[in-house]
Amino acid sequence: MSAFYDGLAEIFEIDADNISPEFDLVAHNWDSLAIVSTIALIDECYDKLVEGSALAKCVTVADVEALIHLAAAA
Amino acid sequence: MRAAAIRAITSFLPGAVLSNQALADLYPNWSADKIFEKTGVRERRICAPDQTAGDLAEAAAQRLFGDHGVAPESIDFLMFCTQTPDYVLPATACVLHARLGLRPDAGALDYGLGCSGYVYGLGLAKGLIESGQVSRVLLLTCDTYSKLIHPLDKSVRTLFGDAATATLVEAKVCETPRIGPLVFGTDGTGAGDLIVPAGGFRQPSTAETGREVRDESGNVRTADHLFMNGPGVLSFTLREIPKAVDRLLALCDVTLEDFDAFIFHQANAFMLERLRRKLAIPQDKFVVRMADCGNTVSSTIPIALEPMMDEAKTQRIMLVGFGVGFSWAAASVTLH
């Protein structure tokens, strides 16, 4: 998970230590640019494509991780 | 064999420059450096209010005629790839036919594709030439997306620039094809992800379509302006383009190592780098040329290809266009 968390930290321009499952995306500028970057990050880390509309509904990192698990199971 | 080959390419950029600093002044929380970091674009060229796609394309064609000693009377067919034509009708290609002084028995047509349009144009030109219908095709590309973009929509204004290109495709006697094989693809379910919703006959422009709305990311636009669903476009690209590249490699019966260079549609630097890494294409073979002109839609591939025409050595290049439609195409092209 560390490469994924490091990537998220880069997207939100914060220290990687601050990224956890409870991390609040919406409070950290969860806009279309962040969503685009996250789609690419998930593709790079897990070779899975998630839909932007589903990502946009995520509120926390845990929600994003649940989406990745769903994509992996599909 | 009689093969279609690219003989010359020229580009034309309009004079006005839209810099990252000018955009940063408009968009709170975006610095000029951040815009470059996110897009790979330092500046874009923007046409004048009274300048059209037809005007820019004419300038690119005249430059091709002048720089390469090509007589307008030698052109058998003119193709113009644009989504921002001068008129609803007639076809801008017919107007350009007259302005460029082409022969009365030369054909001319517009076709309305965006970022995939150049590769489609090469495929169509190849078909016309190798079937013996014509010997010389003038392939023009131009879009003036700046006229479709709301000034306060940073999602697209930071990316797109205006430009035109002219490519001369002509019959050549050689042992192997110079253009092709090609592969094509379309997914019309993505039509709404990159669209100007109003202004056509499905939804004519009205006072209502001109009403400004602000999206969750703070971008402002109306239904008369360009809308791009960035996440949707990226998902489409990462899903379809690797498959198209694999199809092309199988059709050519070669591997990535057999290509000397790769020119993908210059959508934005972020997307290009993700595609490059996903496909494991070496950085030194992957052409990125958009910093000084932005994403110029159907003109990005010929703009990147133009400097390579001056190199004397024979090169096999993979061209991949993708975008609005969704529409995509990939081709193997051999220069010289």
> Pick the catalytic residue: B97, B150, B225, B265?
B265
Q: Going from the N-terminus, what domains does chain A have, and what CATH number goes with each?
A: 2-73 (1.10.1200.10)
CA distance B105 to chain A (A): 49
Contacting residues of B for A55, CB less than 8 Å apart: 231
Q: What is the pTM of this model?
A: 0.95
Angle at B243 between CA B240 and CA B248, to 5 degrees: 125
Q: How far apart, in whole angstroms, are the C-alpha atoms of residue B189 and residue A30?
A: 26
Q: How far apart, in whole angstroms, are the C-alpha atoms of residue B274 and residue B233?
A: 13
Let me know if B229 is a catalytic residue. Answer: no
CA distance A29 to chain B (A): 8
- In single-letter form, the type of residue at position B121 comes to G
Do B149 and B183 have their domain in common? no
Assign B253 a pLDDT band (cuts: 50, 70, 90): very high
Do B159 and B306 have their domain in common? no
Q: What percent of chain B has pLDDT over 70?
A: 100
ipTM: 0.87
User: What is the Cα B37 distance to its own chain's centre?
Assistant: 22
Contacting residues of A for B227, CB less than 8 Å apart: none
| B289-329 per-position pLDDT tens digit | 999 999 999 999 999 999 999 888 889 999 999 999 999 99
User: What would you report as the CA-atom Rg of chain B, rounded to the nearest whole angstrom?
Assistant: 19
Give Cα separations from B274 to B37, B75, B277 (angstroms). 14, 40, 5
Between B114 and B217, residue with greater pLDDT: B114
Residue showing tokens 């090169």 = B315
- Residue A50: how many CA atoms within 13 Å on its side-chain side? 30
Which H or E run includes A71?
Answer: helix A61-73
Let me know if B295 is a catalytic residue. Answer: yes
User: What is the Cα B313 distance to its own chain's centre?
Assistant: 25
Q: How far apart, in whole angstroms, are the C-alpha atoms of residue B21 and residue B103?
A: 46
Total structural domains within chain B: 2
Let me know if B142 is a catalytic residue. Answer: no
CATH code assigned at B23: 3.40.47.10
CA distance A32 to chain B (A): 6
Print pLDDT tens along chain A (74 aa).
589 999 999 999 899 999 999 999 988 889 888 999 999 999 999 999 999 989 999 999 999 999 999 988 87
Which backbone phi and psi does B138 adopt, to 5 degrees? -100, 110
| B156-204 per-position pLDDT tens digit | 999 999 999 999 999 999 999 999 999 999 999 999 999 999 999 999 9
Do B150 and B187 have their domain in common? no
Do B138 and B205 have their domain in common? no
Do B91 and B200 have their domain in common? no
Q: How far apart, in whole angstroms, are the C-alpha atoms of residue B286 and residue B260?
A: 9
Mutation target for B interface from A28, A31, A33: give the one with most B CBs within 10 A. Answer: A33
Residue showing tokens 């059209």 = B52
CB contact under 8 A, B278 and A35: no
Q: DSSP state, B198?
A: S
Print the domain residue range for B266.
179-335
